[in-house]
Amino acid sequence: MITIKDVANQAKVSITTASYALNGIGTISAATRQRVLQAAEDLNYHPNAFARNLKKRKTHILGVFITRFSGSFYEDILEGIHDAVLKTDYELIVCPESRSKRNILGQRQVDGAIVFDVKVKNETIIKLASKGYPIVVLDRRLDTDYVFPLLLDNQSGVRQVFNHLYDQGKRRISFVAGAMDSLDNAERMQAFLQEGCKHDLTIPVYQGNFTEESGYAIAQQIIASRDLPEAVFCANDQMAVGFLRAMSEHRLDAPRDIAVVGFDDVLISRYTRPSLSTVGASRLLWGSLAANWLIDFLDNGTPFPDYRIPVNLVPRESSAVPVDTPTP
């Protein structure tokens, strides 16, 4: 294997001078630089780009640290990141829940990171983030330099859901909350309770954990009480799917008995019976913006914009206004 030492010997210069010539730096004469370049060409020498970047403390690799890979929600975000990175000279490492995550993130083996994993502690992110190691977070907001949040516009989505139900005359509305350590859950719950307060409504809150099973259990609890709300807003689609399943087992109809709305527009929401009303966003856009803005900061120092990913209500059968069939 040809090394820079061989190039230096061929050109009769020191290794330092050969390095200066090959990298276009230093104060060396044009004739010396040309001699080194000619020697490199004659020997078919190609410097190891990865090793050169390591010396500059640059890897040209981005790390994505994400809770899980399965499911359309995370797959779409990853696809958006991947498509954006493909258009650049950066590479991508995606780390699941594993020991490699701690090594790669903690030892700064990438130039920058995108984090969407509640198991990565805030203290870790704050400690690691720096101008030379920016971190984009998709699941939290931290008041510290070089940690850039890119979050969904939860307030807008919640407002659309509330108006959708309120405009149909729904006044007895309940909220099914997700995991307590989730910023999305906190924002959605706070915004929904505020909307209720504006309209002099008291919104009962039931504590779930973002799983279908917790939505199912809460629905069983509500149905057993025999005090049915007119509508239920779940902080994510999985809990709403579980809620609909329990209603079906009790022969309750959505939306006639209880209107149900979720959040996230995951793939299964289109195929439940009835189909699930929800709030959706372009997760491809979310991922691509995270990658593009991170790369723009790394390459050009461009400040991260204060921006929320737009969301829209997707009304479907579970909260549609029921149409009474005329009696013949």
Check residue 296 and give its pLDDT.
Answer: 96
Lowest-pLDDT range of 104-113, 141-150, 191-200? 104-113
Check residue 126 and give its pLDDT.
Answer: 93
Residue 147 lies in a domain: yes
pLDDT higher than 50, residue 148? yes
The residue with greater pLDDT, 256 or 17, is 256
Q: State both tokens at 126.
A: 């704050």
Instruction: Clarify whether residues 94 and 129 are in a common domain.
Output: yes
pLDDT higher than 70, residue 104? no
Instruction: Clarify whether residues 21 and 136 are in a common domain.
Output: no
Instruction: Clarify whether residues 211 and 290 are in a common domain.
Output: no
pLDDT higher than 80, residue 47? no
The residue with greater pLDDT, 36 or 55, is 36
- pTM metric for this prediction: 0.78
SS3 label, residue 286: helix
Instruction: Clarify whether residues 98 and 136 are in a common domain.
Output: yes
In this structure, how many other beta carbons lie within 10 angstroms of the beta carbon of residue 159?
A: 16
Place of tokens 């709030």: 279
| β-bridge mates for residue 151, sequence order | 308
Residue 276 lies in a domain: yes
SS3 label, residue 274: coil
User: What CATH number has the domain bearing residue 19?
Assistant: 1.10.260.40
**5-29 per-position pLDDT tens digit:** 788 899 998 876 777 677 665 567 8
Residue 328 lies in a domain: no
327 confidence band (pLDDT: 50, 70, 90): very low
Instruction: Clarify whether residues 87 and 117 are in a common domain.
Output: yes
Check residue 301 and give its pLDDT.
Answer: 93
* Number of domains the chain is built from: 3
Instruction: Clarify whether residues 294 and 245 are in a common domain.
Output: no
Residue 145 lies in a domain: yes
Instruction: Clarify whether residues 26 and 66 are in a common domain.
Output: no
pLDDT higher than 90, residue 202? yes
Q: Residue 27 in contact with residue 67, Cβ under 8 Å?
A: no
Q: Residue 193 in contact with residue 186, Cβ under 8 Å?
A: no
pLDDT higher than 70, residue 78? yes
How far apart CA 40 and CA 18 sit, in angstroms, is 9
Residue 26 lies in a domain: yes
- Residue 305 gets which letter from DSSP? P
Instruction: Clarify whether residues 92 and 147 are in a common domain.
Output: yes
Instruction: Clarify whether residues 160 and 263 are in a common domain.
Output: yes
Instruction: Clarify whether residues 168 and 238 are in a common domain.
Output: yes
Instruction: Clarify whether residues 79 and 104 are in a common domain.
Output: yes
Q: Residue 77 in contact with residue 65, Cβ under 8 Å?
A: no
Residue 208 lies in a domain: yes
Check residue 323 and give its pLDDT.
Answer: 47
Check residue 260 and give its pLDDT.
Answer: 98
Q: State both tokens at 199.
A: 């309209």
Residue 13 lies in a domain: yes
Q: Residue 251 in contact with residue 278, Cβ under 8 Å?
A: no
**24-43 per-position pLDDT tens digit:** 655 678 899 899 889 988 88
- Residue type (1 letter), 284: L
Instruction: Clarify whether residues 176 and 198 are in a common domain.
Output: yes
- Residue type (1 letter), 328: P
pLDDT higher than 70, residue 143? yes
- Mean pLDDT (whole number) for 176-184: 94
Q: Residue 313 in contact with residue 277, Cβ under 8 Å?
A: yes
Residue-number span of the structural domain to which 12 is assigned: 4-47
User: What CATH number has the domain bearing residue 227?
Assistant: 3.40.50.2300
In this structure, how many other beta carbons lie within 10 angstroms of the beta carbon of residue 30?
A: 8
Residues of the chain above pLDDT 90, percent: 65
Residue 92 lies in a domain: yes
